[in-house]
Structure 1
């Protein structure tokens, strides 16, 4: 059964089943997607940047970025369509963070894990009993 919720875009009350937006906003997004896709699928526009696509179509950069993040627009086919790394803001085409931020995070997690293990070894107390 669907829950009642407010639309994330317009704030209207709707029965939330599969999407966080009402049908009217969903249909509007689909129209925007069609406009963007028709623009970038033309051979002359395949090298366009996110800003250029936004200016030419009237669709916000945020919405176009979301289409790329969701995989609706394949960034591999359109090399200049990038969105920002969530950590440093560098342009990326896949995932949530760029390779350098991702490797930095992995290194920090590995270091933290090693320190935690060393701390646990230090805190172990052994009790001996005499016979």
Structure 2
């Protein structure tokens, strides 16, 4: 059953949609802004633009550009200086949710916890002698 939700942009109530995360009016505005960004990036000299340059040149909000890059509408392979922030530290990345240093840190923590768990189990399974 469809759910009602408030639009994160304007606050109006709309039917939650798996394709869109904003109301119909905000979606139309976002599409207009996407067209502006897309036309700007089609020019060969603009393809190497950074996020800051793109924001200055088009007037489109940084968060929308991040959103489109995260969803794959603006491909990092075609536009090498575009990306979005890592969910933990904010470093600009081009794929996934975490940068390599954050994911490496999480893996190290998981390995450390696994070793601690194994050592606790080994201590519990110690040999006991009765006299």
Q: Same fold (TM over 0.5)?
A: yes
In structure 2, C-alpha distance between the alignment counterparts of 1:17 and 1:89, rounded to whole Å? 28
Indicate yes or no: 2:12 matched with 1:12: yes
In structure 2, C-alpha distance between the alignment counterparts of 1:45 and 1:58, rounded to whole Å? 15
Per the alignment, residue 54 of structure 2 pairs with 53
Superposition pairs for residues 72-91 of structure 1, below 5 Å?
A: 72-91=73-92
| Root mean square deviation, CA, Å | 2.0
Structure 2 unaligned runs (5+)?
A: none
Per the alignment, residue 70 of structure 1 pairs with 71
Per the alignment, residue 107 of structure 2 pairs with 106
In structure 1, C-alpha distance between the alignment counterparts of 2:67 and 2:78, rounded to whole Å? 16
In the TM superposition, what is the alpha-carbon distance from 1:125 to its structure 2 partner? 7.8
Per the alignment, residue 116 of structure 2 pairs with 115
Runs (4+) off by over 6 Å = 125-128
Structure 1 unaligned runs (5+)?
A: none
Change (3 A) 1:16 1:86: closer
Give the TM-score of the pair, scaled to structure 1. 0.86
Count of residue correspondences: 128
